[in-house]
Amino acid sequence: MIKAPYLLFLGDAPDQLAAKVAQGIRDWRPDISIGQIKLPNCKADLNLKNYTLEEARENGAKTLVIGVANRGGKFSDSWKETLCDALDLKLDIASGLHNLLSDEKDLVNLSKLNDCNLIDVRVPKEQFPIGNGKKRTGKRCLTIGTDCSVGKMYSSLAIEKEMRSRGMKVSFRATGQTGILISGEGIPLDAIVADFMAGAVETLSPNNDDDHWDIIEGQGSLFHVSYSGVTMALIHGGQPDHIILCHEPTRTHMRGLPHYDVPTLEALYQLVLPLAKISNPNCKISGICINTKNMDRLESENLKNEIEKVFKLPTVDPFIDGTKKIVDRLIQE
């Protein structure tokens, strides 16, 4: 568990997109985002209070979260000074970067000296079993996309938020780095050895009360030749009772694969359900989330209406519409 509240480190981010991890935490967990700290020339801003490390510590910060992508594959000297100072103030440091805090000897030595934690969320913290496919108690909903980065995490968090607002028992089950930093826990599924991925998902979503919902964050895509294995592990290990399809309709090719077209929602609908029924014969597709950020409002509304008519499923852009219609359907079914 990553200790909250967080101080979000923006470093020397060249633009707002470079700080998208911090932005995600700010958007979804404002209650634990105590403030931000920036280096000179930082071009990103989260509309949070600017703190020094000392001020943040005095105001209750427990963890400095690296919320910006670094350049050059290593921690720059400008970052190092801030990170070392944070450890001297007995702040934990959490990171979702590919290069690891635990590989930086000076940070490791300081963390031991000050009894602090270095948290690399891309590194699994336990050994996982091989999946067994046994039925578990509780309810599960999994987001599945036509491609990578179409809004699976956002949709999952929006569903969790709507359920929580209704007083329902619900947990967001993070499976990627940003989701883990937002929720404070989870499993970096793409860092698990392949044979144990399904078992890791079973561990992430264990037996629970019959009226408890696990909203499992989807990864990759069944149609993405690079990452489909992770998606399959989520489907079989997650044993979802309900699947929410996620789609970005203006995308022309698969992310990072210009020689592969993005599949249609119909193709995903037809493919995913037979696969899901292997581990849960009662699985249903219960809604569709559309990412319409690149469409105007009229186009967006017309498309959502058309999709609802074709699939007879509640269809929303969770950023614009929320997920009330989808949660209503989940409860009804």
Q: What CATH number corresponds to the domain at position 13?
A: 3.40.50.720
Domain total in the chain: 2
Q: Is residue 268 situated within a structural domain?
A: yes
How much is the pTM? 0.88
If asked whether residues 231 and 106 sit together in one domain, one would say: no
Contact 7, 63 (CB under 8 A): yes
If asked whether residues 175 and 78 sit together in one domain, one would say: no
Confidence class of residue 73 from pLDDT cuts 50, 70 and 90? low
For residue 76, the model assigns a pLDDT of 78
Q: Is residue 1 situated within a structural domain?
A: no
Lowest mean pLDDT among 130-134, 151-155, 176-180, 313-317: 176-180
Confidence class of residue 72 from pLDDT cuts 50, 70 and 90? low
Average pLDDT rounded to a whole number, residues 236-261 = 96
- Alpha-carbon span 157 to 153, nearest angstrom: 6
Boundary (domain end) residue, out of 86, 120, 154:
120
Q: Is residue 110 situated within a structural domain?
A: yes
From the list 210, 200, 138, the residue with the least C-alpha distance to 174 is 200
Average pLDDT rounded to a whole number, residues 264-282 = 98
- 63-66 vs 92-95, strand pairing mode: parallel
With a cut of 80, say whether residue 69 has pLDDT above it: no
From the list 328, 311, 263, 291, the residue with the least C-alpha distance to 155 is 291
For residue 99, the model assigns a pLDDT of 86
With a cut of 70, say whether residue 167 has pLDDT above it: yes
Average pLDDT rounded to a whole number, residues 87-97 = 96
Instruction: Convert the chain into a string of H (helix), E (strand) and C (coil).
Output: CCCCCEEEEEECCCCCHHHHHHHHHHHHCCCCEEEEEECCCCCCCCCCCECCHHHHHHCCCCEEEECCCCCCCCCCHHHHHHHHHHHHCCCEEEECCCCCHHHCHHHHHHHHHCCCCEEECCCCCCCCCCCCCCCCCCEEEEEEECCCCCCHHHHHHHHHHHHHHCCCEEEEECCCHHHHHHHCCCCCHHHCCHHHHHHHHHHHCCCCCCCEEEEECCCCCCCCCCCHHHHHHHHHHHCCCEEEEEECCCCCEECCEEEEECCCHHHHHHHHHHHHHHHCCCCEEEEEEECCCCCCHHHHHHHHHHHHHHHCCCEECHHHHCCHHHHHHHHHC
If asked whether residues 28 and 101 sit together in one domain, one would say: yes
Q: Is residue 133 situated within a structural domain?
A: no
Average pLDDT rounded to a whole number, residues 176-202 = 94
- Alpha-carbon span 224 to 257, nearest angstrom: 8
Confidence class of residue 77 from pLDDT cuts 50, 70 and 90? confident
Residues 6+ apart with CB under 8 A from 2: 63, 65, 92, 94, 119, 121, 180, 181, 184, 185
If asked whether residues 111 and 144 sit together in one domain, one would say: no
Average pLDDT rounded to a whole number, residues 31-54 = 97
Confidence class of residue 297 from pLDDT cuts 50, 70 and 90? very high
If asked whether residues 29 and 107 sit together in one domain, one would say: yes
Boundary (domain end) residue, out of 57, 86, 120:
120
If asked whether residues 54 and 155 sit together in one domain, one would say: no
Count CA atoms within 13 Å of residue 273 on its CB side: 14
CATH code of residue 174: 3.40.50.300
With a cut of 80, say whether residue 70 has pLDDT above it: no
Structural domain boundaries enclosing 251: 139-332
Q: Is residue 125 situated within a structural domain?
A: no
Boundary (domain end) residue, out of 74, 92, 120:
120
Q: Is residue 202 situated within a structural domain?
A: yes
With a cut of 80, say whether residue 326 has pLDDT above it: yes
Q: Is residue 126 situated within a structural domain?
A: no
- Alpha-carbon span 77 to 134, nearest angstrom: 50
Q: Which two tokens stand for residue 137?
A: 């108690």
With a cut of 80, say whether residue 74 has pLDDT above it: no
If asked whether residues 154 and 294 sit together in one domain, one would say: yes
Average pLDDT rounded to a whole number, residues 105-116 = 98
For residue 125, the model assigns a pLDDT of 83
Q: Is residue 129 situated within a structural domain?
A: no
Average pLDDT rounded to a whole number, residues 293-302 = 95
> Across the chain, what does the average pLDDT equal?
95
Average pLDDT rounded to a whole number, residues 2-6 = 95
From the list 256, 323, 259, 258, the residue with the least C-alpha distance to 288 is 323
If asked whether residues 156 and 239 sit together in one domain, one would say: yes
If asked whether residues 170 and 281 sit together in one domain, one would say: yes
Average pLDDT rounded to a whole number, residues 218-230 = 97
If asked whether residues 169 and 96 sit together in one domain, one would say: no
If asked whether residues 262 and 211 sit together in one domain, one would say: yes
How many residues make up the chain in this entry?
333
If asked whether residues 150 and 106 sit together in one domain, one would say: no
For residues 188 and 69, the model is more confident at: 188
For residue 71, the model assigns a pLDDT of 62
